[in-house]
Structure 1
Amino acid sequence: MDLLWLLPLILVLAVIAGVYQKLNKVSLSFIVIPGLIGFESLLPANVEDLLIILIASSLAANLPFSVMSFVSAARSFKGDFSLVSKYATRISLSSILIAQILGVIPSIYTYYLYSLFLALFASFLIIGPFLDRADFFKSRAIDSLVYMSLFSLPLGGSGHEWGKVFYSKADAKSVGYFSTLGVFVVFPALLGFVFPTLPVSFVESNPWTESWMIGYICWPISVLVFAAAYATNFLIKNTQNQTDQAWLKYILALFLLAVLFRSVMT
């Protein structure tokens, strides 16, 4: 099936993802990719074969938001900015390594890894308030925020969403460090997804996609997801209502667990 048939569905998912990105600081991929998995019958290939493309394309759509978050955080930063460069180097090297590994391992293992990390994130959304009270995470607020951000990379995310698990007890300085680092997760990973090669088996079976691919990135999907999410960001007002944010967080967790349960059952 031609990708054009999927664009209306991707548009709807991107609008919903934009709402969550605005209100709960969740990467767009946490709505777009599970939503497409739920419509597996409409996809032009098996989910396992498409997953790496969806991850890379979602990361590309997240890049402008990561850059904007970096600029905003850098303007108001009140901590020792030299620490950012230390974390940024480690995060960038780890990020490009993870992207390279995802690009070379068999697609079925990428799918298993994706499912594992998605289940982990959904579980942390639910038990996060309990972890937030733990002295271990309080004493290591910066480290836990920074390195947990890499867990979002196999999910197509920039890592900001882990802050919803940990940073309610972290100080403003820790949040500042965390907010500057999303771009160092996303950009190196995109380099890793662009330079290896085209997804050969997928392009061979779907030759019409060759002109739409930049490495593993399907640029029409990236542009559409970013444009729809950005427009939603512009239209939605963040009221900072804690109750609404909590409900959105638990709805997202249930949605992700339902997608995983459906995948296991089928």
Structure 2
Amino acid sequence: MFTISKEIVFEGPGVHTGTTTRLHLYPSGEGKILLNSVNSPSPPFSLADCEFEARGGTVLKKNGFSLRTVEHLLATLAALKITSLLIVGEGSEVPILDGSARHFVEKLIAERSPIFKREKTYKIVKPLEIQETLAWVKAEPAENWEIEYGIDYDHPLIGEQILEIRVTEEVFIEQVAPARTFGFLRDVEELRKRGLAKGSSLENTIVLDDAKIVNPPLRFPDEFVRHKILDFIGDLALMARSWQGRFSAYRAGHSLHQKLVKFLKSHQDCWSCD
């Protein structure tokens, strides 16, 4: 397991707020992910103690603290086995950077430092499924941490994409982390009315009109489903950063991912921990 050797700072606009924010990451020997706000009089608190919700991404909340769009960072910490860290927010959102987790990986892996604390692995022991109309998520026993994800968009350049991976550091770095978030021009006005996507741009989002990609090229032919896997790993990290089980999702999103996590948290008969 790892922490980091020195402070790392990420700076840039938040994809939803549009406001430039800074995120400070500090080494820690506590054996857990801790969070706080700049100049907060309160002591840091554990990620495990946070409430979370879906609002255009994943939002962490605790006693007045709020940090949006944490999923790409949390996915990176899980994949790189960085389990001991202090995260201090200077602003209300994690910078979107290029819309993927690539820059998180590059900076964190360069400063990764081993610690002698063992991370618990959460093992799925009982199958479960949560459905919402045409969407669903599942978890079932397996020998490794596996994810199968399917998407289906009414767009000629996306359509149905299904991808299965085994979650390892190498697979994450090479096949998942570079995949960027995406959005549709037709949705921009409505999203901004809802206070979302104010910082979305051609530099941090794959933008599609009704027929084409506005800012090509893609990094993968199926970059869209790969990005959904990135989000799913980040949402599973709300509960644990090391899993043994097969997780499947179809036409899902942050809300359904989080329903799965909340179900697992409240149904300890579905998993064991060692």
Report the TM range for the smaller structure's normalisation. under 0.3
Q: Which has the higher contact order (CA 8 A, sep 6+)?
A: 1
TM, length-normalised to structure 2: 0.27
Which is strand-richer, 1 or 2? 2
Which is helix-richer, 1 or 2? 1
TM, length-normalised to structure 1: 0.28
